[in-house]
Amino acid sequence: MPLHPVAEAGVTVVDWIDERTSLSGAGRWMMFRKVPKGTNWFYTLGSATMFAFLSQAVTGVFLAMYYRPDATGGAYESVRHLTNEVFLGAFVRGMHLWGASVMVVLVFLHMGRTFLWGAYKYPRELNWIIGVVLLILTMVMALTGYLLPFDQRAYWATVVASNITGTGPIVGPYLADFLRGGSEFGATTLSRFYAIHMLVVPGLIAALMGAHLYLVAKLGTTAPPWKKVHKDVKLDTIEA
Amino acid sequence: MNQRQKEEYLREYSILKSEGKPFFPYAVAKDAAMACVVMICIITLSLVLGVEQGSKVNPTTTTYVPRPDWYFFFLFELLRVIKPPSLVGLATVGIPTLGMILLFTLPFFDRGPERRPERRPIATATFVFVAIAMALLTYDGATVGTPTALNINLPTSVAQQGTAAVAKFELGREAVAQNGCEDCHDIAGNGNSGPGPELTYIGSRLPANAIGRTLANPTAPMPSFKNLPANKFDAIEYFLSQLK
Ligand code: HEM
């Protein structure tokens, strides 16, 4: 039976791209790899974290359309405007705010799962390390985002947080000065936090997530630790 | 894990994997279901709990008690739990840094082949301990110390009037702290020194009923508090009238 012309066109476009990129092989490699027997709901925590991050990215773009990183009152005013006057503004801001909490919870649950099940052991050590960096970056997102509404709570919590950073070993003082844009909390601090929060760290997270996922597909996800190969012919013949 | 154990693991894993199912559509379906749950959670939280905006930044206040978002409470609480000043550095920087180093190096010092949690007592006990400690510290951080706590000594004149008076005074203290009076008034070194007048000795300046009149019908910019529950309103009035 001949294909519907629209489907035909779709196939042609995909073929055209595939002829030049060979991407379909990578897609098949990612999608049709096998996951071990016994894979259960706990294995969805990683992709749930990724989904929460995507939600943050999308809602964040909408917030960025209204937000002004202006420490002299513009920031506070733009958040007020967004919350009270923009259509669905409070809802999207709420999704971003609570999405942050959800992502933090999920990243800890996912880490707890991989820790308890010993998934950090050979050969997945590097993926664990990438994961720790992702955890830290997630917390940096939470910290830098907290300042942006620029109300009293945001301001004072951030002053304290950057002062605490300043007491850190070796790099502490430099890191604190870099964050604040000087030795004091000033007008540039807010725009620095904004750039870090919406460009630098999300970029790093996206890149590292890619590496994390590549390794997941390459090495395969662990089987639950209780799953053992039945002492049947297969293993015996291999060992013999 | 030595070379033999590594090979054994890889061999066993490849068998388990070959017995498994393809990622698409089996795992993808679970992931998609979970993504829906996550989305529903986020939307529900946004609709039910909403957003708020506090008062505008005022860098000249020095008494505002800073408060991080809830997922940093456990770090923040360490600061309160570890009191001696010489150890504060340990709480704020030492413990988190140590924690991070341990996390990064974990795959290098825990290299045994065993993966079942019940056969890794140290790892599992550490997990349980850290999880409980973080939960407790987060809970403490959530319940102790409102951001606008009002530190003021109980006047002896109130203490002498008996427990009912003390309870009313405490209720008033709490209501004042909760209603943002400190945004505009200095009360014994708590709060901002303007735009409202200092209230530290307000009781010697105004009688209780005059304070009540101001609360109900203030001059701008002070907002009216006449819609507060009567017991809170009375408690605020009493609290202020005792500040002499
Ligand atoms: C932004 C945060 C993160 C994202 C989006 C993410 C995503 C994922 C995904 C989708 C998987 C595969 C499925 C699964 O096991 O859930 C995975 C596996 C893994 N992740 Fe993460 N992850 C994140 C953070 C972390 C953290 C903080 C750690 C630990 C420190 C970590 C360690 C691991 C390990 C060891 C695996 C392999 C698990 C296995 O093979 O069973 N990840 N990650």
B22 φ/ψ angles, rounded to the nearest 5 degrees: -65, 145
Between residues A71 and A202, the one the model is more confident about: A202
State which H helix or E strand residue B152 sits in.
none
In ligand 1, which atom is closest to the CA atom of A42?
Answer: 16
pLDDT of residue A236: 46
Q: Any idea which of A128-132, A149-153, B47-51, B65-69 has the lowest mean pLDDT?
A: B65-69
What integer pLDDT is reported at residue A212 of this predicted model? 97
The predicted pLDDT at position A239 comes to 39
Q: Is B191's pLDDT higher than 80?
A: no
In this prediction, residue B162 carries a pLDDT of: 84
Report the pLDDT averaged over residues B159-187. 82
Q: What is the mean pLDDT of chain A?
A: 89
In order, the DSSP letters of B173-222 are: HHHHHHTTGGGT--BTTBS---SSPP-TTHHHHS-HHHHHHHHHSPPTTS
Q: What pLDDT was estimated at residue A182?
A: 74
Neighbour-count burial for A119-133, b at 16+ CB within 10 Å, e otherwise: bbbeebeebbbbbbb
pLDDT in tens, B4-62: 999 999 999 999 999 899 999 999 999 999 999 999 999 999 999 988 887 777 665 54
**Structural domain spans, chain A:** 44-220
Q: What is the pLDDT of residue A64?
A: 96
When pLDDT is cut at 50, 70 and 90, the band that residue A188 belongs to is confident
Nearest chain A alpha carbon to B192: A152
Query: Mean pLDDT lowest for which of A33-37, A96-100, A180-184, B6-10?
Result: A180-184
Q: How far apart are alpha carbons B205 and A84 in whole angstroms?
A: 40
Q: Average pLDDT in the A137-150 region?
A: 92
Residue of higher predicted confidence among A212 and A169: A212
ipTM: 0.90
Separation of CA A111 and ligand 1 centre (Å): 7
> B21 in contact with A at a CB cutoff of 8 Å?
yes
The yes-or-no verdict on residue A205 having pLDDT over 80 is: yes
Q: pLDDT-derived band of residue A225, with 50, 70 and 90 as boundaries?
A: very high
Q: Is the pLDDT of residue B197 over 90?
A: no
Of A1-5, A119-123, A133-137, B114-118, give the lowest mean pLDDT range: A1-5
Check if the beta carbon of residue B206 is closer than 8 Å to that of residue B214.
Answer: yes
Which stretch of A107-116, A153-162, B62-71, B186-195 has the lowest confidence by average pLDDT? Answer: B62-71
pLDDT digits (tens, 9 = 90+) for A116-129: 999 999 999 999 99
Instruction: Work out the average pLDDT over A35-64.
Output: 95
The ligand 1 atom nearest the CA atom of A135: 27
Whole-number pLDDT of residue A196: 94
Report the share of chain A in percent with pLDDT over 70: 93
Mean pLDDT over B57-68 rounds to: 62
**pTM tops 0.80, yes or no:** no
Name the least confident of A95-99, A105-109, B229-233.
Answer: B229-233
Q: Shortest CA distance to A122 belongs to which of B108, B236, B93? A: B108
pLDDT, average across residues B99-106:
94
Q: What is the whole-number distance in angstroms between the Cα of residue A97 and the centre of ligand 1?
A: 23
Q: Which among B33, B67, B116 has CB closest to A157?
A: B67
Distance A131 CA to ligand 1 centre (A): 6
Q: For chain A, give the DSSP string.
A: -PPPHHHHHHHHHHHHHHHHH-HHHHHHHHHS-EE-TT--GGGGHHHHHHHHHHHHHHHHHHHHTT----TTTHHHHHHHHHHHTSTTHHHHHHHHHHHHHHHHHHHHHHHHHHHHTTTTSTT-HHHHHHHHHHHHHHHHHHHHHHHTT-BHHHHHHHHHHHHHHHTSSTTHHHHHHHHHTSSS--HHHHHHHHHIIIIIHHHHHHHHHHHHHHHHHHH-PPPPTT----SSHHHHHHH-
Does B221 or A61 have the greater pLDDT score?
A: A61
pLDDT, tens only, B133-171: 999 988 877 765 444 567 787 888 888 888 888 888 888
Q: Look at residue A238 and tell me whether its pLDDT is greater than 50.
A: no
Residue B89 has a pLDDT of: 66
Instruction: Give the integer Cα–Cα distance in Å for B14 and A23.
Output: 26
Would you say residue A72 has pLDDT above 60? yes
**Under a CB-based contact definition with an 8 Å cutoff, are residues A152 and B184 in contact?**
no
Compute the nearest-CA separation of A218 from chain B (Å): 12
Rounded to whole angstroms, how far apart are CA atoms B24 and A31? 5
Architecture of domain A44-220: Up-down Bundle (1.20)
CB contact under 8 A, B107 and A120: yes
| Beta strands, E only, chain B | 21-22
C-alpha B211/C-alpha B196 separation (Å) is: 14
Residue A235 exposure: Cα atoms within 13 Å on the Cβ side:
16
Residues of chain A in contact with residue B92, where contact means CB-CB under 8 angstroms, are: 164, 167
Atom nearest to A138 CA in ligand 1: 1
Q: What is the pLDDT of residue B88?
A: 63
The one-letter code for the residue type at B166 is V
Q: Which one has a higher pLDDT value, B87 or B104?
A: B104
Encode B222-231: b = buried (16+ Cβ within 10 Å), e = exposed.
eeebeebeee
Residues with CB under 6 A from ligand 1: A 43, 45-47, 49-50, 53, 107, 110-111, 114, 119-120, 124, 127-128, 131-132, 134-135, 138, 205, 209, 212-213, 216, 221-222
Please judge whether A35 and B22 are an interchain contact, meaning their C-beta atoms are less than 8 angstroms apart.
yes
pLDDT surpassing 70 at residue A149? yes
* B119 vs A157 pLDDT, higher one: B119
State mean pLDDT over A215-236: 80
DSSP string, B95-110: HHHHHHHHHHHHHHH-
A residues 190..219 contacting B (CB < 8 A): none
pLDDT over threshold 80, residue A234: no
Task: Measure Cα distances from A172 to A164, A176, A177, A178, A217 in Å.
Answer: 8, 6, 9, 10, 37
A143 interface with B at CB cutoff 8 Å: yes
> Nearest CA of chain B to the CA of A62: how many Å?
15
What pLDDT shows up at residue A108? 97
Is the C-alpha dihedral spanning B202, B208, B210, B214 positive or negative? positive
3-class secondary structure, B17: helix
What was the pLDDT predicted at B116?
Answer: 94
Question: Which residue owns the Cα nearest ligand 1 atom 7?
Answer: A46
